[in-house]
């Protein structure tokens, strides 16, 4: 946001990718700018039937129906496809944002007509990279400690997702205490103070035992 006046300008910049696209535009239906992006794609010449959406909202062509954390490294996911077929599969992550990304992969596999079952089978293969929700199990003072390394980058949305993940994992693993260490969010320009204050407000609404 540092180099733009508002989110609308960012959405406009992101929509420039459509000018070089031939084929299918896959757009996040949960985005506040979905209608703008959809119209931009169609105005550039992408056929109406080639604009496909994904998300949690009911109107998504590929809809995330449910996510259940099985353990720190595994979630069971249910998705409804474009043809109203419900598919259940396992993903090698308990992080909501990472699980959400797999919907786009499933949609791409389905839309290009490749072997969907073979593709889904690979979703259980560990892919999490350092700093992007990596789970580290260790011991400290004879206590088992689970560390989530989500330090690669930070925006308002990714920070919220990271905090939600920590709370969800605490509950799923029946942990006694949740401690979070938050760093700075950069490239926010004159919105720096405002967005950091929003994170403080959000943090206070969660069941976090201690925050730094």
For residue 66, the SS3 value is: strand
CA-based nearest residue to 110, from 48, 55, 54, 35: 54
Is-contact 68 76, C-beta < 8 A? yes
Q: Which two tokens stand for residue 200?
A: 């403080």
Over residues 165-191, the mean pLDDT reads 91
Q: What is the mean pLDDT of residues 106-120?
A: 91
Range in 99-103, 124-128, 130-134, 185-189 the model is least confident about? 124-128
Grade residue 22 by pLDDT with cuts at 50, 70 and 90. Answer: confident
Extract the tokens encoding 121: 């089978």
SS3 100: helix
Q: Is 112 exposed, middle or buried (0-12, 13-18, 19+ CB in 10 A)?
A: exposed
The pLDDT score that the predictor gives to residue 126 is 75
Whether residue 127 is predicted with pLDDT greater than 80 in this model: the reply is no
Q: Which residues 6+ apart lie within 8 Å of 159 measured at CB?
A: 182, 185, 199
How do residues 38-47 score in pLDDT, each as one tens digit? Answer: 999 999 999 9
Per-residue pLDDT, averaged over 147-171, amounts to 89
Residue with tokens 């889904």: 120
- Segment 27-39 mean pLDDT: 97
Mean pLDDT of the region 189-200: 92
Answer whether residue 9 shows pLDDT above 80.
Answer: yes
Q: How far apart are CA 170 and CA 211, in angstroms?
A: 15
Is the pLDDT at 128 greater than 70? The verdict is no
User: Mean pLDDT for the chain?
Assistant: 92
d(CA 188, CA 1): 5
pLDDT band, residue 131 (cuts 50/70/90): confident
Check residue 180 and give its pLDDT.
Answer: 95
Cβ neighbour number for residue 176 with a 10 Å cutoff: 7
Q: What is the mean pLDDT of residues 136-164?
A: 90
Separation between Cα atoms, residue 34 and residue 185, nearest integer Å: 25
């Amino acid at each position: 946001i540092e180099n733009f006046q508002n989110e609308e300008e960012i959405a406009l910049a992101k929509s420039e990718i459509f000018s070089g696209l031939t084929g299918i535009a896959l757009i996040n239906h949960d985005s506040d700018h979905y209608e703008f992006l959809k119209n931009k794609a169609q105005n550039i010449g992408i056929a109406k039937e080639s604009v496909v959406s994904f998300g949690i909202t009911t109107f998504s062509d590929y809809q995330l129906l449910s996510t259940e954390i099985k353990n720190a490294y595994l979630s069971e996911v249910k998705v409804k496809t474009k043809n109203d077929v419900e598919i259940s599969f396992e993903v090698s992550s308990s992080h909501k944002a990472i699980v959400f990304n797999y919907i786009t992969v499933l949609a791409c596999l389905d839309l290009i007509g490749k072997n969907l079952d073979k593709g889904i089978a690979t979703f259980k293969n560990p892919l999490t990279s350092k700093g992007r929700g990596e789970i580290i199990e260790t011991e400290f003072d004879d206590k088992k400690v689970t560390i989530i390394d989500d330090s690669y980058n930070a925006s308002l949305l990714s920070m919220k997702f990271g905090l939600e993940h920590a709370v969800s994992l605490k509950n799923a693993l029946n942990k006694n205490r949740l401690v979070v260490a938050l760093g700075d969010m950069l490239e926010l320009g004159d919105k720096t103070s405002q967005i950091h204050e929003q994170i403080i407000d959000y943090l206070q609404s969660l069941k976090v035992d201690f925050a730094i």
